[in-house]
């Protein structure tokens, strides 16, 4: 029996254990991803587009770097997340107390670019970021965003091929035409442990990622990063591109 998204213990997801395992000591691959996103978004907006876009990070979990990478380009950023403990973690990060220092090394990479250097990240994050509990698989294209990120979600929420494809389609369907996006996947993941609980994954490789995105994307750039961050996967795949004009049927 394959584990479907609804079967996994999302209400028991432990954000602190997740941050400890993945982000508290920044990994070279995450810093590399942040630089690639920074340069890609910087290139997309090099004509000096004002900060009027609305951004979304889908399945934000306990990771702020995708949202941080959208800060200079947005007047609002929405973090959509399904697991209640992660929603609470994100609300705390967006509160007036400011986000935890654990996220500073990621901002340090971003701020090497002038558009990011002009932003005061803690103040701006608290000002423009909002959090909402939502299910990716319920996004039906009614609400759309001008820039979007989705990191380790469509591949890391279910073992089912149809839910992976649907997750990607729902994300792409939530972007406006021309919207820059960044999305990342654990390559060939067999599932993962967070604290005391096990979570499902669908095994993807570069070809599956390309195939799932190519109907919805222009200028698709796929980076197959051969960094291993734990047992049970074979690297990380980062996809960058712009939403095309195709109509997603979600």
Ligand X SMILES: C[S@@+](CC[C@H](N)C(=O)[O-])C[C@H]1O[C@@H](n2cnc3c(N)ncnc32)[C@H](O)[C@@H]1O
Binding site for ligand X (CB under 6 A): 5, 10, 13, 59-61, 63, 81-83, 86, 135-137, 151-153, 156-157
Mention every residue, 6+ apart, whose C-beta is less than 8 A from residue 146.
Answer: 53, 54, 55, 74, 175, 176, 179
Nearer to ligand X, 74 or 153 (CB): 153
| Phi–psi pair at 110, nearest 5 degrees | -65, -40
Q: Which residue is nearest to ligand X (CB)?
A: 61
Give, as one character, the DSSP assignment of residue 204. Answer: B
Nearer to ligand X, 73 or 158 (CB): 158
CB of 80 to ligand X, least distance (A): 6
Nearer to ligand X, 157 or 175 (CB): 157
CB of 214 to ligand X, least distance (A): 22
Place of tokens 């993807």: 204
CB of 9 to ligand X, least distance (A): 10
CB of 246 to ligand X, least distance (A): 22
Nearer to ligand X, 113 or 197 (CB): 197
Nearer to ligand X, 10 or 103 (CB): 10
DSSP string, 118-175: TS-HHHHHHHHEEEEE--GGG--SSS-BSEEEEES-TTSS-S-HHHHHHHHHHHHHTB
Rg of the chain, C-alpha, whole Å: 17
Q: Phi-psi bin for 178: left (phi > 0), alpha (psi -120 to 50), beta?
A: left
CB of 31 to ligand X, least distance (A): 14
Bridge partners of 238, per DSSP, are: 184, 223
């Amino acid at each position: 029996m394959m584990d479907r998204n609804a079967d996994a213990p999302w209400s028991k997801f432990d954000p602190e254990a997740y941050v400890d395992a993945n982000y508290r000591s920044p990994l070279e691959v995450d810093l590399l991803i942040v630089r690639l996103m920074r340069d890609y978004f910087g290139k997309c907006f090099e004509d000096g587009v004002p900060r009027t876009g609305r951004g979304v990070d889908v399945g934000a979990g306990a990771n702020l770097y995708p949202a941080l990478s959208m800060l200079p380009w947005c007047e609002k950023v929405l973090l959509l997340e399904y697991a209640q403990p992660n929603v609470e973690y994100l609300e705390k990060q967006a509160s007036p107390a400011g986000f935890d220092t654990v996220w500073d090394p990621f901002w340090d990479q971003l701020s090497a670019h002038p558009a990011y250097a002009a932003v005061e990240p803690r103040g701006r994050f608290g000002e423009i970021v909002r959090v909402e509990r939502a299910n990716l698989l319920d996004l039906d294209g009614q609400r759309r965003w001008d820039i979007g990120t989705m990191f380790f979600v469509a591949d890391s929420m279910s073992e089912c091929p149809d839910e992976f494809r649907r997750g990607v389609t729902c994300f792409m369907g939530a972007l406006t035409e021309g919207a820059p996006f960044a999305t990342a996947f654990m390559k060939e993941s067999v599932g993962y442990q967070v604290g005391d609980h096990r979570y499902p994954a669908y095994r993807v490789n570069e070809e599956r990622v390309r195939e799932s995105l190519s109907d919805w994307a222009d200028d698709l750039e796929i980076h197959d990063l051969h960094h291993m961050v734990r047992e049970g996967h074979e690297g990380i795949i980062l996809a960058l591109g712009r939403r095309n004009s195709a109509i997603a049927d979600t």
